[in-house]
Amino acid sequence: MPYNFHILTVTHKTTHTDDIANFIVPIDEPVLLANRLKELKAEYQLNELMYLATCNRVMFFFSGRLQPQRDFILSFFKFVNPKAARLSEEVILEKVAVHSQEDALRHLYKVAASVDSMVIGEREIFRQLREAYDFCYQEGLTGDNIRLAMRSVVETAKEVYAQTRIGEKPVSIVSLAFQKLLEFKLSRQARFLMVGAGKTNTMFADFMLKQGYNNVHVFNRTLEKANILAEKLEGKSHPLSDLPKHKEGFDALVVCTGSVKPVVTPDLYEKILGNDAEHKVLIDLSLPQNIDKEIARLFDCSYVGIEGLRQLAKQNMAFRLGEVNKANDIIEKRLKSFNMIFRERQIERAMSHLPHEIKSIRTHAMDKVFKNELDKLDEDARDLVERMMEYMEKRCIGIPMVAIKDAYKKIHKGLAEEYQQEKKELKS
């Protein structure tokens, strides 16, 4: 099938995520980025171009040229990013994966359905892909072929997320920790102490916000960062050195810092606990552990640590992996139907001149061939002939389109039955 679709991509599968930056278009500002992509499209004579860059992948999806070969790939990435130009040719070729024709589409479906993701089943990539398309479409970088492909990609990904359980069961440590916290059924007024204001606690805070937990005191070595996190949670901020003086009590303690030794020692814990004998929830997302192990032994509390969560994350990931085969089945089925959609569209395009031609035949007949006879008719008869001609014109335009679509529907039905048959045979 001559789509002439190609993908050049660098992902977490071929390179360290930090090195992906060498292959992106190094421009953030949207107008400048669009201009650079237009230059790229012109330089390599691409008919259409779509560009996606995330922290785990960069992808150039284009149509309209022959299979990209070694020289093309090298020249392309040297044009894209001066940092790539400083890498050896072998390194570039090792990191760049090429997908062409049906395989390019298959890859796109897999990306959208999150089958190709670092964390399988994370839907974020689906949103990023749609945003990337909207941007490229609005900038006039894409055309009818990529539009068709993306329509099918969106439908396919939606089907995968609806028909499989690929996105179920959390696999990130932070979301698993928050799920554990929910199991304790703390009230929305529960008092939280957060120690650390880095990326991990900020992610945890996002979950807290969604569930309406905002009775929070944030303690951090650098007060400015504590301020930012506390503001997000509408809580209060303090320097870490003030933690031993905290006398307002707590129900849950969430600790995550980069310290290599426990920040919350039994001594400190006793101070912030005071005379409170209630059961506490302790969540420690740091590695190594930042809440001293002795605390769980000495005090009435439930401890949620990273080791247990990792085990759960592994189990959940194994579950998601088990859903990949189902997702791939859906993708293969959709690939087959895309072939039909693409062919239909090509015929539509090839026939787009028909209405114009039929109209000009009508004009020619009325103005030249039958002009003398028509001139002799009275006004009512002439009006009737004109209306009949107009009616014929409209009906004639529709006939070939409907006939071709019907023929394709029949072939399509045949293919769908063939596919169901193959599936049955595979199962038996």
* 221, 225, 228, 230 alpha-carbon torsion, rounded to 10°: -20
Kindly state whether residue 285 participates in binding ligand NAP, applying the rule CB under 6 A. yes
Residues 302-321 that bind ligand NAP (CB under 6 A): 306
Q: Which two tokens stand for residue 291?
A: 């809440």
Peptide bond into 170 cis (omega under 30): no
What's the per-residue H, E or C state across 106-148? HHHHHHHCCCCCCCCCCCHHHHHHHHHHHHHHHCCCCCHHHHH
Least distance to ligand NAP, CB of residue 15, Å = 20
Helices 124-138, 30-43: inter-axial angle, 10-degree rounding: 70
**By CB under 6 A, what part of segment 69-88 binds ligand NAP?**
none
Could you say whether residue 286 binds ligand NAP (CB under 6 A)?
yes
> What is the token pair recorded at 61?
């999806």
Stretch that binds ligand NAP, among 178-186, 257-265, 268-276, 371-379 (CB under 6 A): 257-265
Q: What angle do CA 365, 405, 61 make, to 5 degrees?
A: 110
| Range in contact with ligand NAP (rule: CB under 6 A) among 66-74, 98-106, 152-160, 258-266 | 258-266
- Dihedral angle of Cα 156, 160, 162, 168, to the nearest 10 degrees: -150
> Of the candidates 13, 70, 151, 199, which one interacts with ligand NAP according to CB under 6 A?
199
Q: What is the rounded distance in angstroms from the CA atom of residue 246 to the CA atom of residue 397?
A: 81
φ, ψ for residue 57, nearest 5 deg: -160, 155
Of 200, 215, 237, 316, the residue at the interface with ligand NAP (CB under 6 A) is 200
Shortest Å distance, C-beta 14 to ligand NAP: 23
Distances (CA, A) of 334 to 117, 149, 303: 20, 11, 47
Question: Which residue, 68 or 196, is less far from ligand NAP as judged by CB?
Answer: 196
Q: Please work out the total of residues on this chain that contact ligand NAP, with binding judged by CB under 6 A.
A: 22
The distance from CA 299 to its chain's CA centroid, rounded to whole angstroms, is: 45
Minimum distance from residue 26 beta carbon to ligand NAP (Å): 24
CB of 230 to ligand NAP, least distance (A): 12
Give, in degrees to the nearest 5, the angle at Cα 75 between 74 and 77.
70
If one asks whether residue 173 binds ligand NAP (CB under 6 A), the answer comes out as yes
Q: Which is nearer to ligand NAP, 219 or 342 (CB)?
A: 219
- What's the CA gap between 221 and 263, in Å, rounded? 11
* Cβ distance to ligand NAP smaller for residue 100 or 259: 259
Residue, CB closest to ligand NAP: 198
Q: Please, what is the minimum distance in Å from the beta carbon of residue 195 to ligand NAP?
A: 8
Segment contacting ligand NAP (CB under 6 A): 42-50, 75-83, 254-262, 349-357? 254-262
DSSP string, 300-362: SEEEEEHHHHHHHHHHHHHHHHHHHHHHHHHHHHHHHHHHHHHHHHHHHHHTTTHHHHHHHHH
The H-assigned helical ranges of 365-378 are 371-376
Q: Which stretch binds ligand NAP (CB under 6 A): 192-200, 207-215, 230-238, 340-348?
A: 192-200
Residue 114 has a CB neighbour count (10 Å cut-off) of 25
Stretch that binds ligand NAP, among 5-13, 105-113, 282-290, 328-336 (CB under 6 A): 282-290
Q: Nearest approach, Cβ of 121 to ligand NAP (angstroms)?
A: 17
The reply on whether position 233 binds ligand NAP by CB under 6 A is no
Q: Is 256 in the site for ligand NAP (CB under 6 A)?
A: yes
150 or 263, CB closer to ligand NAP?
263
Per CB under 6 A, the list member of 92, 208, 263, 301 interacting with ligand NAP is 263
Query: Is 220 near ligand NAP (CB under 6 A)?
Result: yes
Binding site for ligand NAP (CB under 6 A): 173-174, 196-201, 220-222, 225, 240, 256-259, 263, 285-287, 306
